[in-house]
Amino acid sequence: MGRLSWPSEAELDDVKKMVAKISGRGVDEVKVVVSPYRICPLGAHIDHQGGAVSAMTINKGILMGFVASENQQVVLRSGQFQGEVRFRIDEMQHPRPVNCKNGEDCTSNGTTIHEECQWGNYARGASYALQRAGNLLKQGIVGYICGSEGLDSSGLSSSAAVGIAYLLAFECANNLTVSPTENIELDWLIENEYLGLKNGILDQSAILLSRYGCLTYMNCKTKEHKLVKSPKLQANQSKEEHGEYKILLAFSGLKQALTSNPGYNRRVSECQEAAKALLSASGNSLLEPVLCNVEPEAYDAHKDKLETNLARRAEHYFSENTRVTKGLEAWSSGKIEEFGNLISASGLSSIQNYECGCEPLIQLYEVLLKTPGVFGARFSGAGFRGCCLAFVDVNHAAEAASFVKDEYQKLQPKLANQLNQETAVLICEAGDCAHVI
């Protein structure tokens, strides 16, 4: 199989030319990090509790062009945001949890942070994580970063893709050899320690470990991972259609950053409270209060002791773990319809048990469920942003995209009209892992 459809040669050339213009260096000196966005067909909301998850990347994402600077200076520009970010790579960075929108002053630990470019915090976070792990950084970069059009803040783990892009660029410029599993931990440091988001390692793992045509499985407790192939998809890999399915991404018009939405962190805390109560009831109160430390038998024996909200969070965790196991079996057997049914069930549990999403997003999910050719659908971006994903029959993808746009327009005309109609519903394919070209 030849090079995948993304990035195109034209996209690569544009990024290289931009870096050459900023740095005054030759186009042939520019390297490009390709850091794809990810989807999570099954395993929603359970990575932070050490659950089992599945994921794959798509052929959209972040491109980060860069050259090593001639000193310790880091100079960055963005295709999405205004301004220029500058800092020294040898300066020690300090955590700065961000709870505001891009461009606003933020308050962290009682200190107001005045920054011209808040988007640069992911680059500073990458420097922080590498230093925190004991890496010596001597070489800065001059770089330009951009994302696939219409997909920033979309719920496809664009933040993790950005963090990984900066990590790979700094590592390349400083001749550091860092394994994918080490980079998973480093990006976790960016988001959890540096930016103050309580999340797991699903996003980073998917972006760094996935391979084209495979479903990535990961046990977030043991960090064990494996790539699961589908027999039908293997047989069709050489065909232009890339197998029997396409990935549909449908946008609601809502945008909400996880770091400024208390609902996400609150759900994590509720899962921990449920775990603490279940472990205490089963005589294991000394274990860390995460749901992966609760045996399924202990959950069944003591779940009636949980408060209503905590019972729902625990029910989602244990039922979703089961769906991941069944989903791997369906995928490896080439049973795409069965796989799709499990995705839709995951979406329903996210609404009923995890209680995420809002009316427009739930309506979009329900539209996808009745769309011709769709195997299964659920929220993306944890349901705290505005995107849904679906697996759709390859022969009905265009028809399905048109149907979703028309039906959602009837339900939410104001939000639908805010969307770029060319990117309101995207037809995507599976992608590959993050790498440097």
Question: Of 47, 187, 203, 393, which is the active-site residue?
Answer: 203
Calpha distance 15→37 (Å, rounded):
18
Calpha distance 135→284 (Å, rounded):
38
Calpha distance 11→18 (Å, rounded):
11
- φ, ψ (nearest 5 deg) of residue 77: -130, 160
Q: In what order do the strands lie in the sheet with 387-393?
A: 374-380, 387-393, 245-251, 425-428
Distances (CA, A) of 83 to 78, 255, 396: 8, 22, 42
Please say if 203 is a catalytic residue: yes
Q: Which positions are catalytic?
A: 203
